[in-house]
Structure 1
Amino acid sequence: MFQIIGIVLLFGMVFGSYMLAGGNFAPIIEAAPHELMAIGGSAVAASLIGNSLTTLKGMGGGMGKVFGGPKWKASDYRDLLSLLFLLTKTMKSKGVIALESHIEKPHDSSIFKRFPKIVKDHFAVDFICDTLRMMTMNLEDPHQVEDAMEKQLEKHHHEALHPAHALQNMADALPALGIVAAVLGVIKTMGSITEPPEVLGAMIGGALVGTFMGVFLAYGLVGPFATRMSGVIEEESAFYKIIQSVLVAHLHGNAAQISVEIGRGSIPTPSQPSFLEMEEALNNIPAEAA
């Protein structure tokens, strides 16, 4: 919502000030289509040259994050802690054998099925199950497990940021591509040097639209989009850090509820449930599930 308001405000302030200063929109309107073709088209082409198909798909999908924000809401953090509570409690009270059926086939697990949104996140499910699987294989050194989890998180986070970096590279290139379009306009103008001054003036104005469009798109739209995308990805990564916090706390011998409380402290403040809210959520888990 704020992004849409920002875009409307951006166009209103830039073009409104131009209009109030007595600017004529005719040269901009006339030059905009082919200048956008030169600048926007070359920016897209450069992205195709410099990025993999996976990154390009991520750029498209990342635009949803720009306007939709992080996919994990406050209720999802409560669900994650409830899921980890059930898994660690099962491991403590019923042993490794009782846990194996849940981590080998999580999509068929009665515990995982209670949290469908989390199950749809392949990395979260694999991250939980792979770590618990290591524990069932007698890797019980908290420091080794924490180090292994940290490496997985770093890899995932690095890959998740590729689309945002690619979009920022596009933003960095747009001013220069705007100059390219402007230079082409100047070349065209110089080829018509014998024309009257009013014709040359209009042609030079059209060429300068290229510089304007490149700078405007870079710092007004594409750059902020890249910053927003990166910020959302950073916030979403906290979800996976909570998994690490809870499972490492479990390995240190803490009770399931204590491990969950340690994980609760890692939740971003706007989405963090209170101690009483989390306690109520755990108490509301049916006895057969626990």
Structure 2
Amino acid sequence: MFQIIGIIVVFVMVFGGFSLAGGHFDVILKAMPFEMMMIGGAAVGAFLIGNKPKTVMKTLGDFAKIFTGPKWKAQDYTDLLSLLFLLTKTMKTKGVIALESHIENPKDSAIFTRYPRIMKDHFAVDFICDTLRMMTMNLEDPHQVEDAMEKQLEKHHHEAADPAHAMQTMADGLPALGIVAAVLGVIKTMGAIESPPAILGGYIGGALVGTFLGVFIAYGFVGPFAAYMQAVYDEEHSFYKIIQDVLVAHLHGNAAQISVEIGRGGVPSKMQPSFAELETALDQIPSEVG
């Protein structure tokens, strides 16, 4: 919602101010299709040149995040803590043997299948299962496990945030592409130097539209879009950090309830369940699960 409001504000303030100052839109409207073709087309071409196909497709797929925000909602964080509680409790009370069937085939696990939204995230499920698998292989040094998890998280976050980096690179290049369009407009003007001043003025105005559009699009839209996408990726990353916090706390010998309480502290404030809310969620888990 705020992104849509922001877009409207940018347009109203820029073009409203231009109009109130006595500006005329005829030069802008006449030059805009050709300038946008040069600037926008060059920006898209440079975007395709500078990024892997996977990044290009992910950018197109993730663009909606600018308006929808992070995929994880408050209930998802509560579900994640409940899932980790069940896993760590099973491991502590029944041993690693009881856990093997769940981590080897999570799709048929009575624990994992309770939380279908988490099941749809392949990285989250694989991250949990791979870490627990390391624990069942007697890798119980909390520091080694934490280091291994940190490397996985860093790699995943870097790859997930590629679209934000790609868009920021595009934003950085747009002003220069606007100058390219403006220079071409000046070349056109110089080619018609013998024309009357009124015509030359229109040519120069059209050339300056290129500079305006490059800067306007870069700093008014693409740059802010890239910044917000990065913020979304950072918040989504905290979901996976909670997995690390809980499982490392478990390795330090904490009870399942304490481990998930440590993980609860890493939940973004606006999504964080209270102590009582989490306790209620854990109490609602049927005793036969696991």
Report TM bin, short chain. over 0.9
Q: Which residue of 2 aligns with 1:258?
A: 258
Report if aligned partners of 1:85, 1:260 keep a CA contact under 8 Å in 2: yes
The whole-number CA distance in structure 2 between the counterparts of 1:287 and 1:136 is 24
Q: Which residue of 2 aligns with 1:232?
A: 232
The whole-number CA distance in structure 2 between the counterparts of 1:107 and 1:35 is 53
1:63 is the counterpart of 2:63: yes
The whole-number CA distance in structure 1 between the counterparts of 2:71 and 2:274 is 21
Query: Residue 89 of structure 1: SS of its match in structure 2?
Result: helix
The whole-number CA distance in structure 1 between the counterparts of 2:7 and 2:206 is 24
Query: Residue 171 of structure 1: SS of its match in structure 2?
Result: helix
1:274 alignment partner AA: S
The whole-number CA distance in structure 1 between the counterparts of 2:192 and 2:146 is 69
Report if aligned partners of 1:62, 1:164 keep a CA contact under 8 Å in 2: no
1:40 is the counterpart of 2:14: no
Query: Residue 254 of structure 1: SS of its match in structure 2?
Result: coil
TM-score of the pair, normalised by structure 1: 0.99
Q: Which residue of 2 aligns with 1:222?
A: 222
The whole-number CA distance in structure 2 between the counterparts of 1:125 and 1:171 is 35
Q: Which residue of 1 aligns with 2:84?
A: 84
Q: Which residue of 2 aligns with 1:188?
A: 188
Query: 1:34 deviation in Å?
Result: 0.8
Q: Which residue of 1 aligns with 2:96?
A: 96
Query: 1:287 deviation in Å?
Result: 1.6
The whole-number CA distance in structure 1 between the counterparts of 2:253 and 2:161 is 34
The whole-number CA distance in structure 1 between the counterparts of 2:4 and 2:111 is 40
1:178 is the counterpart of 2:175: no
Q: Which residue of 2 aligns with 1:249?
A: 249
1:5 is the counterpart of 2:18: no
The whole-number CA distance in structure 1 between the counterparts of 2:57 and 2:231 is 19
TM-score of the pair, normalised by structure 2: 0.99
Report if aligned partners of 1:131, 1:149 keep a CA contact under 8 Å in 2: yes
The whole-number CA distance in structure 2 between the counterparts of 1:87 and 1:136 is 13
**Pairing of 1:112-261 with structure 2 (within 5 A):** 112-261=112-261
The whole-number CA distance in structure 2 between the counterparts of 1:86 and 1:39 is 54
1:14 is the counterpart of 2:34: no
1:49 is the counterpart of 2:49: yes
Q: Deviations over 1:40-69 (max 9, x none)?
A: 100010011111011111211221111111
Query: Residue 63 of structure 2: SS of its match in structure 1?
Result: helix
Q: Point out where structure 2 has 5 or more consecutive residues left out of the alignment.
A: none
| Alignment: residue pair count | 290
The whole-number CA distance in structure 2 between the counterparts of 1:70 and 1:219 is 23
Query: 1:162 deviation in Å?
Result: 1.4
The whole-number CA distance in structure 2 between the counterparts of 1:105 and 1:209 is 60
1:196 alignment partner AA: P
Query: Residue 23 of structure 1: SS of its match in structure 2?
Result: coil
2:255 alignment partner AA: A
Report if aligned partners of 1:55, 1:162 keep a CA contact under 8 Å in 2: yes
Report if aligned partners of 1:88, 1:250 keep a CA contact under 8 Å in 2: yes
Query: 1:75 deviation in Å?
Result: 0.6
The whole-number CA distance in structure 1 between the counterparts of 2:61 and 2:164 is 11
Query: Residue 287 of structure 2: SS of its match in structure 1?
Result: coil
2:202 alignment partner AA: A
Q: Deviations over 1:105-161 (max 9, x none)?
A: 111111111101101111100000000000011111111101110111111111112
RMSD between aligned residues:
0.8
Report if aligned partners of 1:182, 1:208 keep a CA contact under 8 Å in 2: yes
Q: Deviations over 1:204-253 (max 9, x none)?
A: 10110000000000000000000000011011100000000000011111
Query: Residue 193 of structure 1: SS of its match in structure 2?
Result: coil
Query: Residue 165 of structure 2: SS of its match in structure 1?
Result: helix
